[in-house]
Amino acid sequence: DAGITQSPRHKVTETGTPVTLRCHQTENHRYMYWYRQDPGHGLRLIHYSYGVKDTDKGEVSDGYSVSRSKTEDFLLTLESATSSQTSVYFCAISEAGGGETQYFGPGTRLLVL
């Protein structure tokens, strides 16, 4: 299994509070991704990174920001959590972009009350 961890694994927070999710990899892969998974929607890309300090938006980036200061860590921040951001968040990594295999972390279940 690819070495990807996510923390926390579960979080309950209140509307309006900031939340940061962490993805850590030990594979030295260049690309890292943040997805959210909601019933009927599959996985939707929030943001991705193609190198240290290089990030770009995905299809559902509003309300989210990311940072990557080291190859191994990719942080996702909800600046002011809303109930619509209740979801399961997955981090993924790949050696290259596009059609390269993506390896997924175990997910973080976030509940915004």
Residue 42 interacts with another protein (CB under 8 A): yes or no:
yes
**Best CA proximity match to 108, nearest among 91, 85, 83:** 91
Number of Cβ within a 10 Å radius of residue 66: 22
69 burial class (0-12, 13-18, 19+ CB within 10 angstroms)? exposed
| Interface with another protein in residues 81-110 (CB under 8 A) | 90, 92, 97-99, 101-107
Q: Is 58 in the site for another protein (CB under 8 A)?
A: yes
**Residue 53 binds another protein (CB under 8 A):** no
Question: Contact positions toward another protein, by CB under 8 A?
Answer: 4, 31, 33, 35, 40-45, 48, 50, 56, 58-59, 90, 92, 97-99, 101-107
